[in-house]
Structures are given as structure tokens and as C-alpha cells.
Structure 1
Amino acid sequence: MAFGDLTLLRFHHVIVFLLLFQSHRGQLQVIGPSQPVVALVGDDVTLPCRLEPATDASDMRLEWARPDLSPGFVYVRAKGQERVAHRQPSYRGRTSVSIDRLKDGDVSLKLATVKVSDEGTYRCLFPELGRAAFINLIVGAASSPVVQKTKDSSGLVLQCESTGWYPEPEVFWLDGEGNLLSAGPTETVRGPDDLYTVSSRVTVEKRHSNSFTCRVQQNSTNQTRETLIHVPADSITVQSSSHSNWIIFIVSSVCIIISIILTMKCFFSCWHTDIVKRWRRRRRKRRAETELEPQSKQEDQNDSVKNERESLSGPKKQLKEQEESEKGCEGEEQEQQL
């Protein structure tokens, strides 16, 4: 075979190889997980991403990024080397891929020491293929609750507190049979590290079992922590007695207050009735005095006229008697003269 024919044959093989390679790339898919990835704060997590069919990605450009950040790159690889330029500062030193698995098309990202701020959507992109996969990372944090016993005016109280949760969890109280207990509202505080502290209180009563459980759970991260506590029966009994005494005291106080109110109402009613009666008597007396006043004035006038008449009739009577006395004397003198 001539040299020229051999060169032409090799060139033909190269062309066929390139065409087959380009055709193969056109069929490549970037595959990510169908479900969100859950990781706990402080743990290491792997975000799955691979080429399918399996293809060597050692020399291909690979970009891992968070579209919601700026700059958004968390890991970049090109021409077989890791590129650190334009990488998000919070991810420096915490992201990597397995060099050995790149040959099999596995480009999964390993994220070390997960933080709450790492939660979000990640993009696994091959710019040369124009294909990408999106992976949703959910970050959680959990810790076991601590239960303490206290006493107050209402009796025996159990206090449950748990710190370092993310996202915000729920708190439940259960008795020894697994029944939910009625507790007060859960108190929630969010710290500067974005982690939540939750606490809850419950007043316990005497039941078939003296065991109580504080359960803290977060559904989105599928995290649950529980703490079981045993309470002595005599403690609960004292609490129940105190509780009953407190109820009796309240009921007695209410009865006394009602009695006082009724007594005051009766007193004011009687007082009002007495005032009305007095007012009516005064009114009748004034009316009678008003009716008798003209008659009294008339009698006074009559008495005055009578007195005047009597005063005038006195001198007249004396004059008359004097005249009669004089006439008698004159008659006696005449008789003596005769």
C-alpha cells in the first residue's frame, strides 16, 4: 500500500471517529436526583450529578453554581484543572469532585461542613453540551431536648427546651400511653446563626403511667428527637391536691363576691325605697299644709275682729254702768227731798 493511500485511510478513520464522538455527545444527558438532598448542619454531603451514557468528563468544562448568588460559582473545572476564579467566597475550600470518577461521567459535588446558608438550588452544567441538572439541597439541624421539673402555683410543671434546630421544629408532649397532652404555646427564638431554640411547658396530672415524653420534630428534614422523663407518683398527687385546692379557692371567692354584690344590691334597693317613701310623706305634708293655710288665716282674722269688738265693748259697758249708777243716785236724792 502506498504512503498516500495509508495517509488517506488514517484521515478517514479520524473523520469517522470525530463524527461518532459528536454523535455520542449529542445523546448525552446530565442526570441529577429526582428528590431533594437533605443534610444536617456540620455534616458533609454529596450532590449527585452524572453523564448518561457514562462518558469520560476529565477534560470537559464543568460548572457547579448557585443561581441565586453573585458570584454564583461554587466549583469550576476546565481542561483537567480546578478553577478558583470568580468562586463564591463562602464555598472556598469546601467543594470538590472525585477525580477518579470523572472518567465514568460521575461529576457529583462533595460539600464539606454544611452550613444553614448552603440551603438552596444547585446547577450542574456542561457548557459544551448545553445541558444541566438542578439539585435542591435542604439543610437541617437537630438536637435532643432537655426536660426539667419545676413547681408553681398550678402544681408540677415539666419544662422542655431544645436548641440548634433548622428549620423551625414542632414540640409535642405525650404521656406513657402515647397520647398527646395539652400544653401551652411553644416559645421560639431564632439566634444569629439562624438556628432555632424552642421550649414548651406542660402541667402534668396523675395518670395510669408516670412517664412523659417531649418530642421535637421537623417534617421537611425528617428529623425527630425525644426525651423521656419519669415523675414520682407522690409529686403528681401533691400537684393534683394543690390544683383542687386552687379550684376550691377560686369557686369560694366567686361565691363570696356574688354574695357581696347581692347584699349591696339589696341594701341600695331598700335605701332607695326608704328615700322614696320619705319624699312622698314630705310631699303629702306640704300639700296638706298648703290646703290648711287659707283656713288658718281666716280664723286668725275672725279672732282679731272678735278681740277688737271685746276691747270696744268694755268701755261702753262701764259708761252704761256709770250712767245707771248716777241715775240711781239721783233717784235716791229725790226721794230724800220728798
Structure 2
Amino acid sequence: MTSSISEDSPGYAEGPVVIQMLCLSPCVALRMASFLVMVSILLLIQHAVAIDELRAHPYSDVTLPCHFSFVKGTDKLEFTWEREDIREEFEVEDDKDYFQFFRFYDFFEVFSKVVYQFRNNMEQLEEQNSMYEKRVSVNRAEISEGILSLLLKNVNFQDQAIYKCMAVSPIGRGESKIKLIVEDSEEPQVEFKQIDDETVATCVSTGWYYLPNVTWLDRGERDLSNYSTVEIYEEQMNGAHRVFSVLKYPVKLNEKYVCRIIETDVNFQPFRTIRKYPRRKFHRMYDYY
């Protein structure tokens, strides 16, 4: 219960106001201490819970799963997909290095975290991050069944992040997270063709490379690259090119073949967005994040 004193209240007088602090009884203090300990434990447990990982190759399509049993229809349903940059910690020896980081770190970098939004029985994409424009969708027919999975098309290296699915309905609310890891190599579609009356397996890179390495594998992960050829399929003015590869190993139509392409020039290898924060070697104080 709160109370206030106004100029019309009895006992009001001008001058300094003295505020008396009430001392907590030992019983109340003990309860509060126990509560704070429990909150700290819960926060530690929450931080320690591992997030499921989903791996995808660049230029492929991937579905980020999300399902809530409390979603029974689209009426008054709101759900959002957001991205969070992956965070890694590095250890520092002393407070000087620790505070040096926060002195120069830009905490005001502003960008939209919204990947996809649904409200009022329709998509709401006004706040969508431009990175995902025309690349994400949710199957409208499955929403009423609680399936809010997000289809992400043409995955690129900047898509590597933690994705959070949040939903609110008249009977419940929920949240789930998944970490998307983008592999270094692409695996383009393999096609069977007849070349010089011989059945071969072929693939064409989707990505552009400066010094590509093409590896061919069969179902048993045996390296068949020595039986393949690689040639330039298309080239840009800056020297980057797409490649066309043919596997001439005795190819069987009922066998599975994988064409794997990776950039080997370290100057042009892909980069990802990962935020790195310092962690003290000796935890004398709390970290500020």
C-alpha cells in the first residue's frame, strides 16, 4: 500500500522531508535472500541450456522449425521470427583490457531484428530486415496446426545466426530458438548426363569463386575427385567465376553422388557476423552484458 502527503494533508509543513527506512525482520530478509538465490540459479540454468543447431549449405533452402501446441487457429494470433547475432566470448587477463573493449564498442548499432511477422491474419513485413526480403515464408495452411516453421531460401553466409520464434494467442504464449550454422562449402544439385555415350554426373556451382576446390564423394564418402574434371562455366570481370564439373568415374544411376565446392583463397573466403565479448579470467565483478 502506498500513501502520499499533499499541501492539504494534516501535518504537512514546508522544509526538508525526512524519510524513514523500515528495517526488514530477519524472517523477511531471509525470504528475500532465498528468492534472489533462486533467481540467480534460474538465470544460470537458462544461460546454460544449449540451443539446437541446424546446418545448411550456402545457396540451399532450409526450414527453421517452430511448433506450439497452444496455437489452434489464426484468430488473434501473433507470431514473430527474429534473428540474434551469434555471440562468442574471449578471455581477458585484467580489467584494463576488459574496460578498453567497452570504451570503443559501438552499442548503438541499429538494425531490424525482424525476419518475419504475422498479425491480424496476415503477414506484416513493414519492419522486416531487408536481408530477408522475398526470401522467407511460412506455410499458411499449417499455421492453424501450430506449425510456424520458417522457410529461408537461398541461404548465404550472413544468415548464420540464432533465430527466435515467438507466438502469442488467446490461450498461451511461447518462445523457441534455433542456431543456423552455414557450412563453408556449397553442394550444388547433381545431374546425370550422357557425354560421348558415357553416363556421367555433373554439377554447376551457384556461388562465385576465385580458387575453387571441387570434391566428389559417393554414398560411402569415398573421394572420387581424381575421376573428375573442372572447367570455368561463367566468369566475371573481377576474376570470380562459376565452375562446371564432370565426374567420369563409372557412374551408377542408383548411386548417390555429392559435389562439394569450397573457396580455397583465404582472401576471398566468406565471413559471418559473430559478436565477440570479453570475459574476465577472474570473476571479481559481473560482466556488463
Q: Normalising by structure 2, report the TM-score.
A: 0.39
**Structure in which a larger fraction of residues adopt strand:** 2
* TM-score, length of structure 1 as denominator length: 0.34
Larger RCO: Structure 1 or Structure 2 (Cα < 8 Å, ≥ 6 residues apart)? Answer: 2
**Structure with greater Cα Rg:** 1
